[in-house]
Structure 1
Amino acid sequence: MVVTVAEERTSKRYTGGFVDEMRSVAMKLHTKDQAKDGEKETQGKPWRKWEPTIDGYLKFLVDSKLVYDTLDTILDKADFPEYAEFRNTGLERAGNLAIDLEWFKEQGHIVPEPLSPGINYSIYIEELSKKDPQAFICHFYNTYFAHTAGGRMIGRKVAAKILNGKELEFYKWDGDLPQLLQNVREKLNRVAENWTREEKNHCLEETEKSFEFNGDILHLIMA
């Protein structure tokens, strides 16, 4: 008997609600150098051996801000009622990024316009949010939660290499971050309780696209 991925997910027991399923699928898409539970082989240089540049990092920050601005706009409009659950969670990043980009300007750097990775991702999630809430929630989860984990590690490495160790506002949160994350996990689980198993599987299947889009933006650091 052939067991599909969706059926395999359905048969597993998750103790932390649907968010545990989302995390499990996301961890499998990490490369082995990104996370101990990663299953994919690393293509190209492991991130620990990246050689970032100021210009590349600025491109990454600008494109990231565009995506976070887009997420904020989607949640404010709330084409689907459940989106309103995720307003003002404390995980928002656009305002912090605006402060960082202003700091770079003060140091004499030219802040570029957004490039295709950020533009393409913003267009994609904007269109997705209007018709497919389960898939959109997948992107919301992966974008915000990845930044609090691997994103922070990469941020520290970049700061040590090209910013004399300066910690950007992008990597700071008001309040206790673990508690902020737990609050959002609980909201995600409550929203997902109203989904069918098919809708949950559909959400999980969007994870790979989220990784692809976010990966394209992340690689701007080396541009």
Structure 2
Amino acid sequence: MASTLPISQSHGGVGHHKPLVSLRPRSPIFHSWALPRPHLAPDGLSLRSPSPFVVLAARTAEMPRKKRSSSSSEKGFVEEMRAVAMKLHTRDQAKEGEKEPDAPPVAKWEPSLQGYLRFLVDSKLVYDTLETIVRKASCPWYAEFRNTGLERSEKLAKDLEWFKEQGHVIPEPSSPGISYAHYLEELSEKDPQAFICHFYNVYFAHTAGGRMIGKKVAEKILNNMELEFYKWDSDLSQLLQNVRDKLNQVASSWSREERKHCLKETEKSFKYSGEILRLILS
């Protein structure tokens, strides 16, 4: 499984939480507690079934860069992946966008607390899966993406622990997250080029549109609290550039057909992530 807040250093929180390495729905962080019903605005919009592509569009663009470098790494395969992703945006979201809007903008969403918790839980399962895959590195390329600084699983564990301490119910992972996690595991074993497409879109989308959505949700239901999910421990721009360089280096050994195959996977990445994102409105 889309805030444009200043990047701040992580604050102290709960203790270290070991990332999940299993796709089983039950794990220590997903126990049940009592969750109060969220307070929704009486004039909230009805967004029962937004298109997953449109819902995700707001979070899929890579974080804008202050200045584009002329280095070869900046003009490498990552730029091709970004260009394909941007075309799945609407024109009001990005000048490269080609999709027709079929849902209200994120600013008009009316999220629910329960739905947002479901989104965080399913997102954690996806990040757990991605981080486990690169740690095990069944394909040698994957080892290049260990400890990039973009990892989100531990941050999400702290956020879910905080909600638990407030007396909220932490739900079990739901179908969108479980389905995506299984799909990523399958891809990682049999289709590494396609897996890399998902790796890029999940991590880079969260640094841009994902942060914007996090800010809007915080404004509406969290009294502007900034979760750990939206914080990084060092300069985010540099972390992203480091991963761009690694992605370009890995893709440099691919054939033209392998590159095309990777790019073709972008729509599936949007589809799976969009289904998780729409949980915020449930």
Secondary structure of the structure 2 residue equivalent to 1:130: helix
Task: Provide the C-alpha distance between the structure 1 equivalents of 2:219 and 2:91, rounded to a whole number of angstroms.
Answer: 23
Matched, 1:196 2:258: no
- Report if aligned partners of 1:25, 1:207 keep a CA contact under 8 Å in 2: yes
Name stretches of at least 5 consecutive residues in structure 2 with no aligned partner.
1-72
Counterpart position of 1:156: 215
Matched, 1:71 2:130: yes
Counterpart position of 1:39: 98
Task: Provide the C-alpha distance between the structure 2 equivalents of 1:187 and 1:22, rounded to a whole number of angstroms.
Answer: 14
Q: Residue by residue, what CA displacement relative to the aligned partner does 1:147-177 show, whole Å, maximum 9, x if unpaired?
A: 0000000000000110000000000001000
- Report if aligned partners of 1:34, 1:47 keep a CA contact under 8 Å in 2: no
Task: Provide the C-alpha distance between the structure 2 equivalents of 1:105 and 1:157, rounded to a whole number of angstroms.
Answer: 22
TM superposition shift of 1:82? 0.3
Mapping of residues 84-103 of structure 1, within 5 Å: 84-103=143-162
Counterpart position of 2:81: 22
Counterpart position of 2:172: 113
Q: Residues 221, 34 of structure 1: CA spacing in aligned structure 2 closer, same or farther, 3 A cutoff?
A: farther
Counterpart position of 1:138: 197
Task: Provide the C-alpha distance between the structure 2 equivalents of 1:33 and 1:61, rounded to a whole number of angstroms.
Answer: 27
Task: Provide the C-alpha distance between the structure 1 equivalents of 2:90 and 2:175, rounded to a whole number of angstroms.
Answer: 24
Between the two structures, name the one with larger relative contact order (CA 8 Å, sep ≥ 6).
Answer: 2
Task: Provide the C-alpha distance between the structure 1 equivalents of 2:98 and 2:107, rounded to a whole number of angstroms.
Answer: 17
TM superposition shift of 1:30? 1.6
Amino acid at match of 1:63: D
Amino acid at match of 1:171: Y
TM superposition shift of 1:139? 0.2
Counterpart position of 2:24: none
Counterpart position of 2:120: 61
Secondary structure of the structure 1 residue equivalent to 2:78: helix
Task: Provide the C-alpha distance between the structure 2 equivalents of 1:52 and 1:99, rounded to a whole number of angstroms.
Answer: 21
Task: Provide the C-alpha distance between the structure 2 equivalents of 1:15 and 1:149, rounded to a whole number of angstroms.
Answer: 18
Amino acid at match of 1:181: L
- Report if aligned partners of 1:19, 1:185 keep a CA contact under 8 Å in 2: yes
Amino acid at match of 1:215: G
Task: Provide the C-alpha distance between the structure 2 equivalents of 1:218 and 1:191, rounded to a whole number of angstroms.
Answer: 29
TM-score, length of structure 1 as denominator length: 0.92
CA RMSD of aligned residues (A): 1.4
Task: Provide the C-alpha distance between the structure 1 equivalents of 2:120 and 2:181, rounded to a whole number of angstroms.
Answer: 14
Name stretches of at least 5 consecutive residues in structure 1 with no aligned partner.
1-13
TM superposition shift of 1:33? 4.2
Counterpart position of 2:13: none
Task: Provide the C-alpha distance between the structure 1 equivalents of 2:93 and 2:275, rounded to a whole number of angstroms.
Answer: 16
TM superposition shift of 1:34? 3.4
Counterpart position of 2:53: none
TM superposition shift of 1:202? 0.3
Q: Which is helix-richer, 1 or 2?
A: 1
TM superposition shift of 1:15? 5.9
Matched, 1:210 2:266: no
Q: Residue by residue, what CA displacement relative to the aligned partner does 1:14-34 show, whole Å, maximum 9, x if unpaired?
A: 961000000000000123343
Which one of 231, 235, 240 corresponds to residue 172 of structure 1?
231
- Report if aligned partners of 1:19, 1:188 keep a CA contact under 8 Å in 2: yes
Counterpart position of 1:220: 279
Q: Residue by residue, what CA displacement relative to the aligned partner does 1:78-122 show, whole Å, maximum 9, x if unpaired?
A: 111000000000000000000000011111110000111000000
TM-score, length of structure 2 as denominator length: 0.73
Report the count of equivalent residues: 211
